[in-house]
Amino acid sequence: INHTVSAGETGLTKIVKEISPAVVTVFRYNMNKQVTGMGSGFFISKEGQLITNHHVLAGAFYAEVKTINGDIYPITRIVAESKTADLLKVVVDIPENKVKWLILKDTLPLIAERVIVIGTPLGLEHTVTEGIVSAVRFIPGRGEFFQMSAPISQGSSGGPVMNTKGDVTGISTFIMYMGQNLNFAVSSREIGNLTDDINLSLSEWALGESRNHPGMAEKLCENDVSFTVEGKTQKALEYYRDKTTKMPKDHM
C-alpha cells in the first residue's frame, strides 16, 4: 500500500502530507463545457476508481478532476451509484503511476473519535479541517451516517473523512444550516455496499438521470444545441421520443 502512514508517524501534518495526493477537486460541466459546480473526491484504487457524492455530478455532461499538483484528468465512466447514500463511484482516466489511493475502514467510527477532513469548501482546494465524531446515526432509507464537528462547506461534498491513521471512515455529504457544527458524513461502509453494475460514460449516465427529472429536456436543448455529446445522437433521439411520449406536457 503506497500511501499508508507508517506506524511510527504521528501528527496531523504527516498524515495530511501522505493522504493529500489521493484527494481531488471535481469540476462539473454542462454540455457547452461551462462549469456548473464543483466538489471533492478521492481515489480508492490504483486503477483510477474514485468516490464522490452522487449530487456532485448530478446533471453533468462532462467532468474532470484536479490533483493537488495541478494535473487535470477526465472522468470517463460511471460504475456504481447509490442515490440514497449519495454516493457515486467513477473511473478517472489517469496513469496508474500517478494514482495515490486511500484505504476504506469497514467499521463505524466511535463517538468522540478524532477525524480529519480534506475538501474544496467554497472553491478553496485542499482545505484541511479536524474535529470529533459527535454522533453516529442510522437514517432510515438512506443508511449509516455520522455527525462531526469538523467544519465542511459547499464544495466539501465527496471529500474523505479520515481517522488519525489516515483511513477513510466517511465521506463529507451535507450540513444543516439551522445550527452550528452540524456536519454529516456517510459511513465508508456504505461504499462497500455499492455494486459495480453500471458501465456508462458520464453523458450516457446523465441522459438516464434526466429521464427522472421533468424539465431536464429543456436543458438538453439549451441554446438550440443538439445533444451530441460523444456522438450519441441516436441515443438522444431515442430519449426525446421517449420523453415526448411519456411526458407530453413537458415541452422542449
Residues designated catalytic: 55, 86, 157
Place of cell 454522533: 135
14: its cell numbers: 504527516
Side chain identity at residue 146, one-letter code = F
DSSP string, 130-189: EEEEEEEEEETTTEEEEEESS---TT-TT-EEE-TTS-EEEEEEEE-SSSSS-EEEEETH
CA angle centred on 173, ends 95 and 21, rounded to 5°: 30
34: its cell numbers: 461551462
The Cα 216–Cα 41 span in angstroms is 26
Cβ contact 54:83 at 8 Å: yes
